[in-house]
Amino acid sequence: MALKTKGGVTVRCPSCGERVKPDVKVVHIRNEFGEADARAKVCPKCGGIIDVFKEDLFFRPNGCGAPRRSRRPNGLRRGGGKGSYDRTAALERVYNTLNAVKMPFLKAARRIRRVSEMYYRMRRTPIRFNESNDKRVSTILLETPASPKNAAAWTFYMSGQTSCPIYPAQLPAKFRRIKKEINRFPFCNRAIIFIAPKFTCGAREMLRKAGILAFTKASEALAFIARYFKARYSSLLASLKGKRLFGPLALLVYILQELLRELGGLQGEPLLRSEIEAYHAIENGITVQ
């Protein structure tokens, strides 16, 4: 029974029988249930345990005082043989895929930025990049100058998993990450691309129903993007044939042309062969033959 006294509460110690003000310490408890470390009220005179905070008790079974070893030390399955998961190698494959996807856009963006800055008289580039911390989810955003409401975005999810194909049970968590990235750029024409070494048939069907394109190589994804730019570039030039081209529309033609040049989809002689010609066309105009 606890007794209230001036300055605190005293209780009777079951070990020594004296009434004391207990100290609170962390003690190690072992019984038939296992072992546990918990806070307890301890007698300051004899060191006996008076009471234990029950909410701290979490017994480790089988008398194992040491924490259990991980089943996958260093990110590998037990044995580390064929089919094991190596996180470092998987991230390296993700980075290589990301570099392969971004490199054509980065090369074109350097030239496009210089022309765009001369036209707008300020630091501005129509091509923007956004990436997650682990680089698995990234977005390439193209803001078209002549029609800003028709901005195009490509959201990529890149997986380096080679131990087994991507299967349907893995996709819901990946869809949540993709949705979080999409919410950053809600108002644009978008294509979602999933790049992984292997897919099961069920995963491909699940991606197709979600409106996500599945590719096994970065080159296949870039070929798809190149076909989009080629169709847009060809239809734009066809509509401008015999007309005078100048201003932001000329800048749009130059942007599409340079992206096609880096993606390998440009056929024939380019309309604007250099940055000087592009700037001249933007400022003074040029007739499309």
Q: Rounded to whole angstroms, what are the CA distances from 249 to 96, 131, 192, 195? A: 35, 29, 27, 33
* Residue 2 covered by a domain: no
Kindly state the tokens that stand for 178.
């993709």
State residue 119's pLDDT score: 72
Whether the CB-CB separation of 10 and 44 falls below 8 Å is answered with no
Has residue 69 been placed in a domain? Answer: no
The angle, 0 to 180 degrees and rounded to 10, between the axes of the packed helices 218-240 and 247-263 is 150
Both 133 and 238 in one domain: the answer is: yes
Residue finishing a domain among 48, 63, 78: 63
Same domain, 53 and 149: no
Do 198 and 114 belong together in one domain? yes
Q: Let me know whether 48 and 130 are in one domain.
A: no
Residues 6+ apart with CB under 8 A from 203: 165, 166, 167, 168, 170, 171, 214
Q: Which residues contact 286 (CB under 8 A, 6 or more apart)?
A: 244, 245, 246, 250, 271, 272, 280
**Together in a domain, 171 and 264:** yes
Q: Which pLDDT value is given to residue 193? A: 94
pTM of the model as a whole: 0.64
Note whether 92 and 48 are same-domain residues. Answer: no
Instruction: List residues bridging with 26 in a β-sheet.
Output: 39
- Provide the pLDDT for residue 160: 86
For 235, the enclosing helix (H) or strand (E) is helix 218-240
In this structure, is residue 75 part of a structural domain? no
Helix extents (H) in 121-186: 171-182
Tens digit of pLDDT at every position of the chain (289 positions):
555 454 567 888 888 888 888 888 877 777 665 666 777 888 888 888 888 776 555 544 444 444 444 444 444 444 444 455 677 888 888 889 999 999 999 888 888 888 887 777 656 678 888 888 888 999 998 887 766 566 888 999 999 888 889 999 999 999 999 999 888 887 788 899 999 999 999 999 999 999 999 999 999 999 999 998 888 888 888 888 888 877 788 888 888 888 888 888 777 777 777 777 877 777 777 777 7
* 38 and 96 together in one domain: no
On whether both 45 and 148 belong to a single domain, the answer is: no
135 in a domain, yes or no?
A: yes
Does some domain include residue 152?
A: yes
Domain residues for the domain of 142 are: 87-287
Q: Map tokens 């847009």 to a residue.
A: 232
Closest among 134, 182, 141, 180 to 159, alpha carbons compared: 134
Q: Is the dihedral of CA 249, 251, 254, 255 positive or negative?
A: negative
C-alpha–C-alpha distance, residues 156 and 181, integer Å: 10
Domain stop point among 17, 48, 63 = 63
pLDDT of residue 33: 58
**78 belongs to a structural domain:** no
- Looking at the fold, whether 41 and 144 belong to one and the same domain comes out as no
- Based on the fold, state whether residues 54 and 195 are members of the same structural domain: no
pLDDT for the residue numbered 78: 42
What pLDDT is recorded for position 66? 45
Residue 71 maps to a domain: no
Task: For residues 119 and 16, state if they share a domain.
Answer: no
Q: Decide if 195 is inside a domain.
A: yes
111 and 246 part of one domain? yes
Q: How many domains does the chain have?
A: 2
